[in-house]
Structure 1
Amino acid sequence: MSATENPTSQNPLPPVVDADTWRRELDALRVREKAATRELDAIAAQRRRLPMVELPEYTLVGADGPVRLAEIFDGHPQLIVYNHMWSDGNEWQCPGCTGFTSQFTRLDVLERYYDARFVIVTNGPIDEALAYRERVGNRMAWYSSADSSFGSDMDAGPDEGFGVNVFLRDGDSVYRTWHTNGRGTERLSHVHGLVDLLPYGRQEEWENSPEGWPQHGTYDRGMGSKEVAALYGAPHGASHGSLQGAGS
């Protein structure tokens, strides 16, 4: 009998089998998992061989004022930029971007062992961006491209969404080497990786799940920006300054 047929169970459950059957099923799945790992290795190898394009000189704004893009590398040759969605004046910004970037709290390993840096760039004004960074407890360095075409040129302009861009620096010359957006950013998220291991998965309606599995609308659940702030930000998610705009 499967546990889904157990009248004492309050939740849909996978079938219950003996240990040998479970091991055979796991071994069969492992073949596919290993094949996917090898394919991801091959994709990474192709990514390392991508050509690149030289960029013009951009000036962004950081906590200490204007800064050239080449200086954002902070002496490292490699840079990853998360382009954060932004609506000027809103107290709470994109919950997806806010939740995604809240995962990154220990990035010293990139600088120490891989000679790279990971920062956030948003199209919002720097004072609002830094206040929001504090409000939601973000630990990454933030920069503003509000006075630059950088966001638009990197496929993440105002009202265009989010993205990840990777750059390589050779002296003062900066090159764009890779870009992704949408679900292409998921492989950077340890939360998605962990949730995909769970029996019920993400519980979103697009997933291919067994009949009766809990499911909901794709954007119906997950932490909003206020919840991120309550967990990680300033006390009780309090806002700073006079930023009281609408938004969620």
Structure 2
Amino acid sequence: MTHPTADSLPPVVDQQTWQTALDDLRRREKAATRELDAIAAQRRRLPMVALPDYTLIGPDGPIRLIDVFDGRSQLIVYNHMWSDGAEWQCGGCTSLTSQWTRLGILDNYDARFVIVTNGPIEDALAYKAKVGNKMDWYSSSESSFAADVDAPPGGGFAVNVFLREGDKVYRTWHTTGRGTEQLSYTFALIDILPWGRQEEWQDSPDGWPQSPTYSKWLDSPDVARLYAHGDVQ
């Protein structure tokens, strides 16, 4: 690993000078927090789209989308990228979903979080075990569900959120790309480190360690090695 030279390190200052600089940064951080609150408020007021009665495939066979809620009113779906016959599926999806191991907190919010992929359910469940994933997986291989929520076969990943009202299901929110970063604790931790993500696109001081984008991300075999046989309950 390349370390920054002494010349590239930030200046060393006294406590008061450091505190003043931190207070200046904190004002921007607080402004960003308030803006995120405002964005969340706007998200809660988005209009909804009524969905048809989709049928997915679960570990026990066909299951209606409304039953995937498992009695809850809200459902978050991570649409996992899938390539039929591949030994390893998308490294980014595999790494991101490996973080979500303690989702019982959603119970108090009348919500559930699951993975849906376009792969056959038998292959999906085998891959889940292979990489040590702990979430509940479903397959949309026999319906148009994934295509209809912007995660078609051969396409990218997505996060979709749904609301159940009686026997009706509505689509309330969708994101993809870097929009999924807000669901990851890893980037939040890495971004507060002095060196940050160390990716070439980031604005860092001259001489700071930087690497090609994605080069430090865990790939699928890394996730399997770390978590498939570990205790990540």
Name the residue aligned to 2:221. Answer: 226
| Equivalent position to 2:126, from 127, 131, 156 | 131
Aligned partners of 1:6, 1:149: CA distance in 2, in Å?
Answer: 57
Q: Does 1:212 align with 2:227?
A: no
Q: Does 1:198 align with 2:193?
A: yes
In the alignment, structure 1 segments of 5+ residues that lack a partner are: 236-248
The one-letter code of the counterpart of 1:127 is E
Q: CA deviation at 1:156?
A: 0.6
Q: Does 1:150 align with 2:160?
A: no
Aligned partners of 1:14, 1:125: CA distance in 2, in Å?
Answer: 52
Aligned partners of 1:185, 1:165: CA distance in 2, in Å?
Answer: 10
Name the residue aligned to 2:94. Answer: 98
Name the residue aligned to 2:158. Answer: 163
Name the residue aligned to 1:242. Answer: none
Q: CA deviation at 1:234?
A: 4.1
Q: Is 1:134–1:234's contact at 8 Å kept on the other side of the alignment?
A: no
> How is 1:21-32 mapped onto 2 (pairs within 5 angstroms)?
21-32=17-28
Residues 72-106 of structure 1 show CA distances to partners (whole Å, capped at 9, x for unaligned) of 00000000000000001112100000000000000
> How is 1:171-182 mapped onto 2 (pairs within 5 angstroms)?
171-182=166-177
The one-letter code of the counterpart of 2:59 is A
Q: Does 1:48 align with 2:44?
A: yes
Return structure 1 stretches of 4+ with deviation > 4 angstroms: none
Name the residue aligned to 1:35. Answer: 31
Q: CA deviation at 1:45?
A: 0.4
Q: Normalization by structure 2: what TM-score? A: 0.95
Q: CA RMSD in A?
A: 1.2
Question: Against the structure 1 CA distance between its residues 125 and 234, is the aligned structure 2 distance closer, same or farther, given a 3 Å change threshold?
Answer: farther
Report sequence identity in percent: 67
Q: Is 1:54–1:174's contact at 8 Å kept on the other side of the alignment?
A: yes
Q: Is 2:69–2:112's contact at 8 Å kept on the other side of the alignment?
A: yes
Name the residue aligned to 1:19. Answer: 15
Name the residue aligned to 1:83. Answer: 79
Aligned partners of 2:80, 2:6: CA distance in 1, in Å?
Answer: 47
Q: CA deviation at 1:147?
A: 0.8
Q: Aligned with 2:216: secondary structure?
A: coil
In the alignment, structure 2 segments of 5+ residues that lack a partner are: none
Q: Is 2:5–2:207's contact at 8 Å kept on the other side of the alignment?
A: no
| Equivalent position to 1:73, from 51, 69, 90 | 69
Q: Normalization by structure 1: what TM-score? A: 0.89
Question: Against the structure 1 CA distance between its residues 5 and 169, is the aligned structure 2 distance closer, same or farther, given a 3 Å change threshold?
Answer: closer
